[in-house]
């Protein structure tokens, strides 16, 4: 197809980089038509399971969070987006922004596919410019019938993005693997670095490290890590960052086989802790792979740094699992944002402090007895204090039906259990660092459990019609404090 282009050139200067592009008129028209479609389609969405304070698509399908970044005093979060159906389709980039990581504003769709699907990637703030680096997936005529390369897009206002005419800027993996995606870019001193998920020639997952002075010409540096044969066939959505004096390789390996309580989801997300040198480009692994969240629905986590803190968000769903909300015209959402730190040999996650600003009234602050039942609205935060030398057994379910989840603790085995029924169980050992409190976040179709200081976290989708019913099925009384939470995202 011959593209009709508008008559002016856009010249953008980024910290030592000059991009010149012309903007296709039909691309601009497609963006306008898409936003008109979204506004019209929102009227048809059934809101029964739509979250009140988790980022979700206005319509259609959402998967991986992308481009999580801090730019000109605002947080930006993009996501894989297919607006025309509530199932995966040709990938766009949806876009929201927030001043505080809890109150989110819907923005126009940032990227639309053309010859390429706009797969996952990242964003980097460069003075007044915001640049996206993403994977362009293009169909091919021969097996494996696709090719993945890395593209750039950029914006002067943080809202309207234009693709670089020189795309792709990184055309192939060093070994020619077609599995070459999900770039995470950052700047160190005067150079840009990016990690990209890929695969060895014998189908083992790996993460590649590159360097550039201008984000257009990239030099391959090293393999930061790769599967030894039992760590999966593809490492997606890599992230690499310094945290509390250590370096962390965060990624989502595909193809891990279940091992007792571990790796029971379709795909996993976790991290390796180690040491790294920008002189040798070598990442020395010190603590082997650990899952970062132990729930049913957590994938493709990504991070950003702002104000001296490292924040994480993930896709709050899972591949090859039912998405009951899809019949309502939307599917998929993001977790609440968590703050990361390292304690010993593991990462702990806590909800961002700003989430306290969503608290409305206190619903209860007292002891509840065995068998006692409480009822809440759709969005609630609950603190549970118990005697952890005894069993703890809580039932959470919809006030008008649909799914249920049991939260359990058995001191004899030392495990926290999240049970959605029908043997759909996730569990892990818990050794409290200090606090023994459970902090639970409930939304219209989700449950997030933070144990103690955040050393054990579970994120699981639970579909509660008409708000939540809480039953103390333990044989002990519990101290409970609960807050009604205000809306933090658009309807």
Would you call 64 a catalytic residue per the annotation? Answer: yes
Q: How far is CA 398 from each of CA 28, 379, 444, 474, rounded to the nearest angstrom?
A: 44, 12, 9, 19
Question: What pLDDT score was predicted for residue 454?
Answer: 98
Query: Looking at domain 359-485, does it have CATH number 2.60.120.560?
Result: yes
Question: What pLDDT score was predicted for residue 164?
Answer: 97
How far, in Å, CA of 275 to CA of 224, rounded? Answer: 11
User: Domain coordinates of the chain in residue numbers?
Assistant: 5-351, 359-485
The answer to whether the beta carbons of residues 211 and 218 sit under 8 Å apart is: yes
Mean pLDDT by groups of 10 residues along the chain of 491 residues: 33 41 75 98 98 98 98 98 98 98 98 97 96 96 91 97 97 96 97 98 98 97 96 98 98 97 98 98 98 98 97 98 97 98 97 98 98 98 98 98 94 98 96 97 98 98 97 98 98 88
Question: What pLDDT score was predicted for residue 4?
Answer: 31
How far, in Å, CA of 312 to CA of 350, rounded? Answer: 10
The answer to whether the beta carbons of residues 161 and 153 sit under 8 Å apart is: yes
For 435-476, how does the pLDDT look when each residue is reduced to its tens digit (9 = 90+)?
Answer: 999 999 999 999 999 999 999 999 999 999 999 999 999 999
- Structure pTM? 0.94
Question: What pLDDT score was predicted for residue 15?
Answer: 41
Residue 33 CB contacts under 8 Å (≥ 6 apart), including other chains: none
Please tell me the class of the 5-351 domain.
mainly beta
Which of 202, 206, 181 lies closest to 272 in space, CA to CA? 206
Pick the catalytic residue from 44, 46, 64, 419: 64
Beta bridge partners of 92: 81
């Amino acid at each position: 197809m011959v593209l009709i282009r508008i008559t002016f050139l856009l010249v953008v200067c980024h910290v030592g980089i000059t991009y010149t592009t012309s903007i296709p008129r039909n691309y601009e028209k497609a963006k306008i038509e898409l936003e008109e479609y979204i506004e019209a389609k929102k009227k048809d969405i059934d809101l029964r399971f739509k979250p009140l304070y988790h980022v979700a698509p206005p319509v259609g399908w959402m998967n991986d969070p992308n481009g999580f970044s801090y730019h000109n005093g605002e947080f930006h979060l993009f996501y894989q987006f297919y607006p025309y159906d509530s199932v995966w389709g040709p990938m766009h980039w949806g876009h929201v922004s927030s001043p505080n990581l809890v109150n989110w504003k819907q923005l126009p769709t940032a990227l639309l596919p053309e010859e390429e699907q706009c797969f996952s990637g990242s964003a980097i703030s460069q003075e007044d410019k915001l640049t996206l680096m993403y994977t362009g997936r293009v169909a091919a005529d021969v097996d494996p019938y696709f090719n993945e390369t890395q593209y750039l897009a950029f914006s002067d206002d943080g809202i309207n993005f234009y693709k670089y005419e020189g795309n792709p800027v990184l055309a192939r993996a060093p070994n020619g693997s077609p599995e070459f995606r999900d770039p995470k870019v950052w700047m160190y001193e005067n150079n840009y670095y990016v990690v990209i998920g890929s695969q060895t020639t014998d189908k083992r997952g790996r993460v590649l490290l590159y360097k550039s002075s201008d984000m257009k010409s990239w030099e391959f540096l090293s393999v930061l890590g790769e599967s030894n044969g039992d760590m999966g066939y593809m490492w997606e959505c890599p992230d690499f960052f310094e945290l509390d004096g250590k370096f962390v390789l965060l990624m989502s390996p595909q193809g891990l086989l279940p091992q007792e309580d571990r790796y029971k989801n379709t795909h996993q997300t976790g991290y390796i802790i180690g040491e790294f040198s920008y002189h040798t480009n070598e990442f020395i692994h010190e603590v082997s792979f650990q899952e970062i969240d132990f729930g049913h629905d957590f994938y493709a986590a990504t991070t950003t740094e702002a104000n001296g803190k490292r924040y994480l968000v993930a896709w709050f769903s899972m591949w090859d699992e039912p998405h009951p909300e899809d019949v309502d015209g939307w599917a998929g959402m993001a977790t609440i944002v968590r703050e990361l730190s390292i304690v010993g040999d593991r990462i702990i996650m806590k909800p961002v402090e700003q989430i306290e600003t969503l608290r409305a009234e206190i619903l209860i602050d007292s002891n509840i007895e065995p068998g006692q039942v409480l009822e809440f609205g759709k969005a609630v935060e609950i603190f549970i204090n118990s005697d952890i030398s005894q069993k703890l057994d809580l039932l959470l379910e919809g006030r008008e039906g649909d799914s249920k989840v049991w939260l359990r603790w058995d001191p004899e085995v030392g495990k926290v259990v999240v049970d959605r029924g029908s043997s759909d169980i996730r569990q892990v050992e818990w050794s409290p660092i200090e606090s023994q409190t459970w902090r639970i976040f409930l939304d219209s179709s989700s449950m997030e459990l933070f144990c103690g200081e955040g050393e054990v976290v579970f994120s699981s989708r639970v579909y509660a019609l008409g708000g939540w019913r809480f039953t103390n099925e333990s044989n002990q009384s519990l101290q409970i404090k609960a807050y009604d939470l205000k809306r933090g995202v658009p309807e």
